[in-house]
């Protein structure tokens, strides 16, 4: 008998790299540089299957440069709420769009013999209390929404790995019940690949083996130890067949990826910056950008006419490459909007800049002016095996900034105390602004004087690890060019506030600094002045990795912080009627100034070339063709899950999916013409050219679970003057039969994207089958339920350019003569 978790866990740990928008490598912080691709939500906005496959292929190649055989991505969880802190890492609110694009991503990656890891199976829609929250979800919502995307990925790509999730679903953790891993994934869907846990997500060593979880991550195992598994086999709680199944899936993964035969190991992690990947990232980022407003055709703008351009806002010099958490990485390089404008227009256009406002959640790490014990920029950390810093350090390490952690550090094994120190020499005098915190109790000293004592552990260890913690803020008077001895002493948290066992006994601290002059400058008035003087004002606003990240959900749909960005946009628009807003976020946000600005672009997190991608669209080098992969509410209160998401479950650790199947446009379709009508609908996006869809036809019929295929054909023509692309969307509306089964007004059943030159036309075809017309019958089986059911009657096929009723360009009728059911 061999416990594969025990025997191979260390080796498997070295096989994987975090994803899904870049192969980071082994180091969570400050590792080898890597290519950063657009986030999955940006990729979803392209509605482009081929592009998703290309990115998957490139990510497979990137993983090889890091010596990795598996990428921990794609993330396929559904956008349930606009407050989802990790929405940017997943694709869409619609399971078909998510599933199809994720499948192409997987096919591209695995074509390079690098395993894709589809995650997080299942129901990891919120990050608040994700390690302990119990989510109550109906069978029908699970089948039609939350399982559906995973099912599509599996059936269109055969991923070599799946990753289980943290939350409880209907009372039990996923690894501790047979429903999802065994009954559905293995038995119903026929999945034969490796199932691994999310990091620390195994809750029951015996049951997880019985239900087919092949690997506990990370190693060494905490629940599936050799002793635990041996005892369970002797008692009959685990059979040898069940153990062999877990072991064989791991061996199969090693064989598939070439670890056991002919694929050569990369001697060490490398940074390989390929020109073809740079181009792919730039093109993909531009194709995902969504043009939401363009009053009087102000875009694209002509640099020959706008000779003075003001670049304003906290994100004008910020390269919005990625969100926070597992999706973050050390990019080869990052291009901000300012960088792109300077490089391409700096000689022809006068560019001015103002940040406009600060949006710090945590002050930036102290770096400038710091010197560690080795004489380099940064801090030195000494780790001790005693709780009071006595004795000699057991390990010493140098850090490039004012943040350190023992998490993800194989050199430091749960120290009992640490001293984190630097010599700081400020370049200017002032009462500078500092922020300080420790994961556990901590003290800050400056020149031997105790400045602040944090007596208790941080509120949320995961938030601390990801750099979004609550901190003590204060000012300290510094003289210029004078060295100050800065020391932090800290111990591990005595209470694990993350609820994740991986954080037990870990130790971390942070020190941030902002110079007084920078903090107290009147940035708002500076921005207004520049806007008045400019021919064109462009505001770059949105979220950053401090606001959108794994481990934290958003509190509101408002931009951070305290209305400052909304005030900035409104003020700039009042000062200059030619104001364009470029919004960077992975989620919809409230836009109270929408009627005041001339244009609005949604830029997402577009990868390392984000600045160039944005400028390509602003100048018209690329005609915008992105479409929203989610509905954009006016207010969070208008969503179907309002009051039942994220922070609403913080204290109770309970959340109910009260909306059932009414997710996204399936909910908002019922509210057109009311105050809850969306700001922008799912599938919406403007262009610099125009299209016409003609000759729409239907072939085929649905008359049973087998051989029921409907084909929609059409001719799409570019009737404008610029090259561009249109996304052809097909929705299916159920019959009006008077049934008591509540159905969504319509659901996306097919889509395609066509790129056309001016005057060019092209024929396209799309198909869907019986499962697209089915709903899940959740009645008990003795009443004919627990199956997929298609109703008889006249279904409407809606050909559209968005989910908004006014964007339906053609309607066809599909009649199902006799209803039928089929098993899952």
Pick the catalytic residue from 198, 283, 566, 777.
198
- Give the SS3 label for residue 502: helix
Tokens 């020391």 locate to: 487
Q: How far is residue 45 CA from its own chain's centroid?
A: 13
Q: Is the dihedral of CA 409, 413, 418, 419 positive or negative?
A: negative
DSSP for 444-489, please give it: EEETTEEEEEE-S--S-HHHHHTT----EEEEEEE-TT--EEEEEE
> Is residue 15 within 8 Å of 69, Cβ to Cβ?
yes
List the structure tokens of 401. Answer: 């900034």
DSSP for 102-170, please give it: HHHHHHHHHTTT-EEEEEEETT----TTTTT-EEE--HHHIIIIITHHHHHHHHHH--SEEEE-SSEET
Q: Is the dihedral of CA 334, 339, 345, 346 positive or negative?
A: negative
Tokens 């003609």 locate to: 694
CA distances from 251 to 245, 247, 259, 774 (A): 10, 6, 9, 38
> Is residue 798 within 8 Å of 731, Cβ to Cβ?
yes
447 is catalytic: no
List the structure tokens of 223. Answer: 């629940």
CA distances from 171 to 197, 209, 497, 523 (A): 18, 19, 22, 50
338 closest CA partner among 142, 553, 538: 538
List the structure tokens of 727. Answer: 């996304």
List the structure tokens of 620. Answer: 């018209």
Instruction: Give the Cα separation of 345 and 277 in Å (integer).
Output: 24
Up-side HSE of residue 351: CA atoms within 13 Å toward CB? 19
Q: How far is residue 250 CA from its own chain's centroid?
A: 27
Query: Catalytic site residues?
Result: 198
């Amino acid at each position: 008998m061999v416990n594969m978790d025990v025997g191979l866990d260390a080796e498997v740990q070295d096989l994987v790299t975090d994803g899904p928008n870049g192969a980071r490598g082994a180091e969570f912080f400050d590792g080898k540089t890597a290519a950063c691709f657009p986030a999955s939500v940006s990729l979803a906005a392209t509605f482009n299957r081929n592009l998703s496959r290309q990115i998957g292929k490139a990510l497979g190649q990137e993983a090889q440069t890091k010596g990795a055989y598996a990428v921990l991505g794609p993330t396929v969880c559904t956008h349930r709420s606009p407050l989802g802190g990790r929405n940017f890492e997943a694709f869409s609110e619609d399971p078909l769009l998510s599933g199809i694009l994720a499948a192409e991503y997987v096919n591209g990656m695995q074509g390079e013999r690098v395993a894709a890891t589809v995650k997080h199976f299942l129901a990891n829609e919120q990050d608040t209390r994700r390690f302990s929250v119990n989510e109550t979800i109906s069978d029908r919502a699970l089948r039609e929404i939350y399982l559906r995307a995973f099912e599509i990925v599996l059936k269109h790509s055969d991923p070599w790995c799946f990753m289980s999730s943290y939350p409880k679903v209907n009372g039990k953790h996923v690894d501790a019940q047979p429903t999802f891993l065994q009954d559905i994934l293995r038995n119903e869907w026929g999945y034969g690949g490796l199932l691994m846990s999310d990091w620390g997500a195994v809750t029951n060593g015996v049951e997880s083996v019985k239900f087919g979880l092949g690997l506990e991550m990370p190693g060494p195992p905490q629940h599936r130890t050799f002793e635990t598994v041996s005892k369970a086999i002797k008692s009959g709680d685990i059979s040898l067949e069940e153990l062999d199944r877990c072991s064989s899936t791991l061996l199969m993964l090693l064989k598939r990826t070439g670890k056991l035969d002919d694929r050569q190991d990369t001697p060490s992690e490398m940074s390989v910056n390929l020109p073809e990947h740079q181009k792919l990232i730039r093109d993909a980022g531009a194709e995902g950008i969504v043009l939401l407003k363009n009053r009087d055709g102000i875009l694209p703008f002509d640099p020959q006419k706008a000779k003075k351009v003001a670049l304003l806002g906290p994100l004008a010099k910020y390269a919005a490459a990625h969100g926070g958490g597992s999706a973050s990485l050390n990019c080869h390089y990052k291009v901000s909007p300012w960088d792109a404008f300077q490089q391409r227009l700096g000689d022809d256009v006068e560019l001015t800049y103002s940040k406009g406002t600060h949006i710090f959640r945590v002050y930036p790490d102290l770096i400038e002016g710091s010197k560690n014990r080795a004489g380099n920029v940064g801090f030195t950390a000494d780790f001790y095996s005693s709780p009071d810093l006595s004795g000699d350090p057991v390990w010493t390490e140098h850090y490039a900034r004012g943040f350190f952690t023992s998490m993800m550090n194989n050199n430091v094994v749960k120290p009992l105390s640490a001293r984190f120190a630097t010599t700081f020499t400020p370049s200017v005098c002032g009462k500078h602004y500092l922020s300080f915190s420790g994961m556990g109790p901590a003290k800050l000293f400056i020149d031997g004087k105790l400045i602040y004592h944090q007596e208790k552990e941080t509120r949320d260890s995961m938030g601390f690890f990801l750099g979004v913690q609550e901190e003590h803020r204060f000012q300290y008077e510094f003289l210029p060019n004078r060295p100050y001895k800065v020391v932090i002493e800290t111990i591990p948290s005595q209470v694990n506030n993350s609820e994740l066992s991986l954080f037990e006994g870990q130790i971390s601290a942070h020190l941030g600094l902002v110079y007084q002059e920078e903090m107290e400058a009147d940035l708002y008035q500076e921005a207004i002045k520049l806007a008045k003087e400019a021919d064109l004002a462009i505001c770059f606003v949105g979220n950053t990795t401090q606001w959108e990240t794994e481990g934290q959900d958003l509190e509101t749909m408002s931009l951070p912080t305290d209305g400052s960005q909304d005030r900035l946009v409104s003020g700039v628009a009042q000062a200059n009627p030619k104001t364009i807003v470029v919004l960077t976020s992975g989620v919809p946000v409230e836009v109270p100034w929408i009627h005041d600005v001339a244009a609005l672009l949604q830029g997402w997190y577009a990868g390392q070339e984000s600045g160039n991608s944005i400028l390509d669209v602003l100048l018209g080098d690329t005609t915008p063709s992105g479409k929203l992969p989610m509905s954009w509410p006016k207010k969070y209160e208008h969503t179907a899950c309002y009051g039942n998401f994220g922070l609403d479950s913080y204290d109770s650790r309970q959340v109910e999916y009260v909306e059932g199947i009414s997710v996204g446009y399936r909910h908002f379709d019922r509210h057109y013409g009311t105050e809850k009508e969306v700001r922008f609908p799912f599938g919406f996006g403007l262009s610099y050219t125009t299209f016409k869809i003609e000759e729409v036809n239907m072939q085929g019929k649905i008359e049973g679970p087998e051989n029921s295929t409907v084909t929609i054909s059409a001719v799409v023509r570019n009737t404008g003057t610029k090259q561009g692309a249109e996304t052809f969307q097909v929705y299916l509306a159920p019959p009006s039969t008077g049934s008591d089964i509540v159905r969504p007004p319509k659901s996306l059943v097919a889509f395609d994207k066509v790129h056309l030159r001016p005057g060019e036309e092209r024929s396209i075809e799309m198909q869907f089958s019986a499962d697209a017309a089915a709903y899940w019958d959740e009645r008990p089986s003795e009443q004919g339920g627990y199956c997929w059911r298609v109703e008889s009657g006249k279904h409407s096929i809606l050909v559209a350019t968005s989910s908004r009723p006014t964007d339906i360009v053609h309607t066809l009728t599909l009649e199902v003569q006799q209803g039928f059911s089929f098993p899952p």
